[in-house]
Structure 1
Amino acid sequence: MSPEIPAPPGPLQSAHSGLHSEHGARRGEHPGRAANPVIKVRDLAWLSFEKPDLDRAERFARDFGLTVATRTRDELRLRGTLEGTDAIVIRRGAVSRFVGPVFQADDHADLERLARHTGARVRPLGPGQPGAVVDLTDPTGVPVGVVYGAQSYDALPEQVALPLNTGTRPARINAAQRPAREPARVQRLGHLVLQTPRFAAALDWYVEALGMIVSDFLFLPGQRDLGPTMAFLRCDRGTTPADHHTLAMHLSPGRGYVHSAYQVTDLDAIAAGGEYLAERGYRRTWGIGRHIQGSQLFDYWRDPDRLMVEHFADGDLFDCTVEPGWAPMTASGLAQWGPPVTRDFLGTAPSPARLREAFQALRAADTELTTSRLLALLKAMSS
């Protein structure tokens, strides 16, 4: 769970404050929050997947640094070291696929309010499990759960951050630094990134129904007047800081999962854990580097079913007073430092499947994608 750091209440802070972003909103642009949302979710609970080979999924999960909470023939539940719920629930299925996210509500009354507003119902979470859930579907077609009262695990021993000698403040004397070559111990699920050809509709749904607020917007160069094409959304926890983004989404021909991210202790955990993964034959997608929006140290990998996952550390924490920043969407604007972004990460490698996906998205009745926006996206991702 996210650390709860006291923060004083105050007015909305300009996007220029502390170099959060060079630019704030212009008059009439999306405010990045709803005046009266139905509820305000407090965090992600877990992500649901289906996979045909749970043994292989478990091996990768352990190598990636997740902890097995429970395992049956048809279900694998994974957690981090921090106190909290499951981080990932994998059920046996015919193919490997992302099912959807489950968010945490603050109170059971939030579930009832959400059910009344959407016409859904509050149901028990499952046989033998505490808690209740409301099942929804976002405008992209992604199943979204909102849960309250789910099982929470006690904290496990942490991977201790290494003491660093920094300038005039040495923390390590007469001792060498030797990070263990072991899995980077995942502390918690951090965020999910989705793609959608219905970006504006999906953005408004998460803002209005779940009470999420935007930390940063990205827009296509030369097309700012058409609105943003990517948003980084955080949970509105009032004066308690929350992750810069718990959910990010961007306009795309594709629908659904892009990647999910898991917090680890520090840069050494990322790097040594990456060496451990590489030695076992897994393929790095992009990294190691530091992002701009969110500031995270990052390292991206593919699991055996080619789903992308991220180790991250040292991300930004914002309270409710920070306004959205606005910045152009470019490939070079994805990181402050690190190796050049890869085609694998961007998803821009040409293939018959991607061409078919783009063609179908342009023809769909509910799409917000146009030919000019698609060409601008491709140009931005090569800039």
Structure 2
Amino acid sequence: MSQQQTQQMQPAFKRPQPIVRADALAHVVFERKDAAKMEPFLQDFGLLPCGPSAGSKSRFYRSYGHLPYGVELIPSERDAFVGFGLVARSRSDLDRLAAAENKPIEAVEGPGGGVRVRLFDPAGFRVDLIHGFEPVQPVATRAAITQFNSPGVNRRINAGVRTDVAPSPVLRFGHVVLQTPLFGETLMWYMSRFGLIPTDMQTLPDGTPALAFCRLDRGSDPADHHTIALVAGPAPKMLHVSTETVDLDAIGQGQQFLWSKGWEHFWGMGRHLLGSQFYDYWKDPVGDEWEHYADGDVMTADYPTGFHPLTLGGLWAWGQDLPQSMRPPMPAPPDAPPVVRELIQALREPARAWWPKLD
């Protein structure tokens, strides 16, 4: 089925009136049996330790941006992804969400303080809406490289490109990708509570959505192509956390640095098709996936939802084929919903099966 046919068979996509409209992704939260093992990885990945917070046993790490922290590591008897925080536009948004969900407004334990309302999505992931934290001074990085020479057009004259082999500075957290067996319910949960807008949805052959790239509703101000992506799957799982860095050269210098430190490379470099980001993926000490990206798409709230056939080739424009470990296992679990069964079958095909045949 062509993309045009898929677009034509979709009904008008109606969004619910949300309780609030979240403004940004603030941080991610993990539990770790050995939190100390994560510190060298996070620093080599481009994050900065920002110390423990009073009254908390957690470890915290910040980006180079203005948010007080981007990662919370909780010492635990398990290795797990706990959830994430979203930034509220105003204190009244917290009041409104707390009243609608019958939840308390509580103090944030992490650096920067502030207050939060804590919810759990249908897959069990923790979602905090936070406000009133104290921003930190951004850490300076080199300027993005914007002068490029091309055939017949020389913009960079008498100047070379000499980036250090060093960690890719993480400027901010861009998105999280979550797998859930309750795809439709979870998508509606985020849309109705936090105002998420599906930017692009990938569908099965019958037109059923099975993957949604969702952005925040920031009105006329541009928002990332997606802050939360949801994919149908047999069990709740965090698939990866994504961080924005300066530019393509920063991704490359960080890749070289992470190779030199012996960390496990996973996928990339390449460019995504939906979202357009340059990407590079790595695995942390327990096997969770972390992405560096640069040059992603941004959209305003009036940008229409796109519908596309779900194929592996639709996940990237160029780069390596999807790693085998990212392909779902077969057969599908006996109790898996039909949408999960069909999605698993679709994602088992090698990407080259979808590429145009060349004469």
**Displacement, 1:223?**
2.1
| C-alpha RMSD of matched pairs (Å) | 2.2
Checking the alignment, whether the CA contact within 8 Å between 2:112 and 2:135 is kept in structure 1 is no
Checking the alignment, whether the CA contact within 8 Å between 2:120 and 2:126 is kept in structure 1 is yes
Identify which of 39, 61, 72 aligns with 1:89: 72
The 5-angstrom pairing of residues 253-268 of structure 1 reads 253-268=234-249
Is 1:187–2:171 an aligned residue pair? Answer: yes
**Displacement, 1:285?**
1.1
Aligned to 1:44: 25
- TM-score for the superposition, normalised by structure 1: 0.84
Where do 4+ consecutive residues of structure 1 move more than 4 Å? 21-28
Identify which of 27, 40, 56 aligns with 2:37: 56
Q: For the residues of structure 1 that align with 2:61 and 2:80, how far apart are their CA atoms?
A: 16
Q: For the residues of structure 2 that align with 1:163 and 1:143, how far apart are their CA atoms?
A: 39
Is 1:235–2:219 an aligned residue pair? Answer: no
| SS of the residue 2:209 aligns to | coil
Q: For the residues of structure 1 that align with 2:232 and 2:127, how far apart are their CA atoms?
A: 19
Letter in 2 for 1:276: F
Aligned to 1:175: 159
Residues 40-72 of structure 1, C-alpha deviation per residue, up to 9 Å, x if partnerless?
011111111111222221100110011112247
Aligned to 1:200: 184
**Displacement, 1:179?**
2.0
Q: For the residues of structure 1 that align with 2:76 and 2:229, how far apart are their CA atoms?
A: 26
Aligned to 2:292: 311
The 5-angstrom pairing of residues 149-298 of structure 1 reads 149-162=132-145, 164-167=147-150, 168-220=152-204, 222-224=205-207, 227-298=208-279
Q: For the residues of structure 1 that align with 2:278 and 2:4, how far apart are their CA atoms?
A: 21
| SS of the residue 2:113 aligns to | strand
**Displacement, 1:129?**
5.5
Aligned to 2:15: 33
Change (3 A) 1:177 1:154: same
Q: Percent identity, please.
A: 31
Q: For the residues of structure 1 that align with 2:34 and 2:340, how far apart are their CA atoms?
A: 39
Identify which of 101, 109, 134 aligns with 1:118: 101
Q: For the residues of structure 2 that align with 1:68 and 1:111, how far apart are their CA atoms?
A: 28
Q: For the residues of structure 1 that align with 2:281 and 2:111, how far apart are their CA atoms?
A: 36
| SS of the residue 2:198 aligns to | strand
**Displacement, 1:376?**
4.3
**Displacement, 1:169?**
4.3
Checking the alignment, whether the CA contact within 8 Å between 1:24 and 1:325 is kept in structure 2 is no
The 5-angstrom pairing of residues 9-24 of structure 1 reads none
| SS of the residue 2:128 aligns to | strand
- Shifted more, 317-326 versus 85-94: the winner is 85-94
Q: For the residues of structure 2 that align with 1:283 and 1:115, how far apart are their CA atoms?
A: 42
**Displacement, 1:27?**
6.7
Q: For the residues of structure 1 that align with 2:83 and 2:30, how far apart are their CA atoms?
A: 7
| SS of the residue 1:161 aligns to | coil
**Displacement, 1:266?**
0.8
Checking the alignment, whether the CA contact within 8 Å between 2:149 and 2:156 is kept in structure 1 is no
Checking the alignment, whether the CA contact within 8 Å between 2:270 and 2:278 is kept in structure 1 is yes
Aligned to 1:11: none
Identify which of 331, 334, 337 aligns with 2:312: 331
Aligned to 1:341: 322
Q: For the residues of structure 2 that align with 1:23 and 1:158, how far apart are their CA atoms?
A: 46
Structure 1: runs of 5 or more not aligned: 1-20
- TM-score for the superposition, normalised by structure 2: 0.90
Letter in 1 for 2:239: V
| SS of the residue 1:337 aligns to | coil
| SS of the residue 2:234 aligns to | coil
Change (3 A) 1:81 1:32: farther
**Displacement, 1:161?**
2.3
Checking the alignment, whether the CA contact within 8 Å between 1:46 and 1:89 is kept in structure 2 is yes
| SS of the residue 1:110 aligns to | helix
Residues 166-210 of structure 1, C-alpha deviation per residue, up to 9 Å, x if partnerless?
225434322332221111111110000000000000000000111
Aligned to 1:14: none
